[in-house]
Amino acid sequence: MAHCSVLTAALLLSAASSVASTSMQSVPPGYQKVALQHGVPAESLYSLALAESSRQLPHGTRPWPWTINVAGKGYRYESRQAAWQALQQFMKSHPLKRIDVGIAQVNLGWNGHRFSSTWDAFDPYINLNAAARILRECWERSPGSWLKAAGCYHHPAGGKPAARYRQIVSEKLASLSPTQPRPITTQAPANFANNQTPSTEIIWTEPRRQQ
């Protein structure tokens, strides 16, 4: 991405310093905002994103927004435009229920109605908001365990696939430092949309604002 707001740059650099000093990862502010809006734990949402779209970057493993999974095979692209163009081809050859997209790998067949377009599905905040709504709905169907809700997010029918996924999310969760309590706000997080490649000079932990 070509530009970055001063505030977001400061948040990213702060995250870089914290990761450098400890093996524990902090939940980025963008995830905390989305989680608060939908009433889900920030750690649960970030752990889910790590399980869904992790990519090794110079400063550590982070969720990657321009990720597609088709019939069980993952593809990671260097830009939003490249991911979107690839998706157009995959949609011609595979059922939508076999395609997951974006930073939280939302399935287009089951949850594509949550996006106004396939382009929007790659917007990190739009994708995360959809994921948070799904996670919350899973929890409401069976309250009590956010890990169980994560299993439902991956495989609503439950069984071994959900159990395996719960274990993956649990491992991601164990790598996080606790999130500090934040005041609840009714303001929705802004959508950040552009098609440039994220900078690898600093930790890319949340979408950056288009100038």
* Contact by Cβ (8 Å): 125, 191: yes
Cα–Cα distance measured from residue 76 to residue 73, given in angstroms and rounded to the nearest whole number: 10
**What's the pLDDT tens digit per position in 98-113?**
999 999 999 999 999 9
In whole numbers, what is the pLDDT of the chain averaged over residues?
80
**What's the pLDDT tens digit per position in 28-38?**
999 999 999 99
| Within-domain flag for 75 | yes
The values of phi and psi at residue 34, to 5°, are: -65, -40
Say what the pLDDT of residue 177 is.
Answer: 83
Cα–Cα distance measured from residue 207 to residue 83, given in angstroms and rounded to the nearest whole number: 16
Owning domain of residue 32 = 28-174
Q: What is the CATH number of the domain that holds 166?
A: 1.10.530
Helix (H) or strand (E) holding 161: helix 159-174
From the list 28, 7, 29, 18, the residue with the least C-alpha distance to 59 is 18
Burial class of residue 18, CB neighbours in 10 A (0-12, 13-18, 19+): middle
**What's the pLDDT tens digit per position in 22-77?**
468 899 999 999 999 999 999 999 999 999 999 999 888 999 999 999 999 999 99
The values of phi and psi at residue 16, to 5°, are: -60, -40
Cα–Cα distance measured from residue 61 to residue 59, given in angstroms and rounded to the nearest whole number: 7
Say what the pLDDT of residue 180 is.
Answer: 57
| Within-domain flag for 182 | no
Compute the average pLDDT of residues 76-94: 97
| Within-domain flag for 202 | no
| Within-domain flag for 93 | yes
Say what the pLDDT of residue 35 is.
Answer: 97
Compute the average pLDDT of residues 137-150: 95
| Within-domain flag for 188 | no
| Within-domain flag for 203 | no
| Within-domain flag for 15 | no
Say what the pLDDT of residue 18 is.
Answer: 40
| Within-domain flag for 7 | no
Higher pLDDT, 138 or 182: 138
Say what the pLDDT of residue 181 is.
Answer: 53
Least confident of 3-12, 19-28, 75-84: 3-12
For residue 106, the 8-state DSSP code is: E
Higher pLDDT, 4 or 46: 46
Compute the average pLDDT of residues 66-93: 97
Q: How many domains does the chain have?
A: 1
Say what the pLDDT of residue 153 is.
Answer: 97
Q: Which residues contact 44 (CB under 8 A, 6 or more apart)?
A: 35, 135, 146, 147, 149, 150, 169, 173
**What's the pLDDT tens digit per position in 145-193?**
999 999 999 999 999 999 999 999 999 999 998 765 544 333 333 333 3
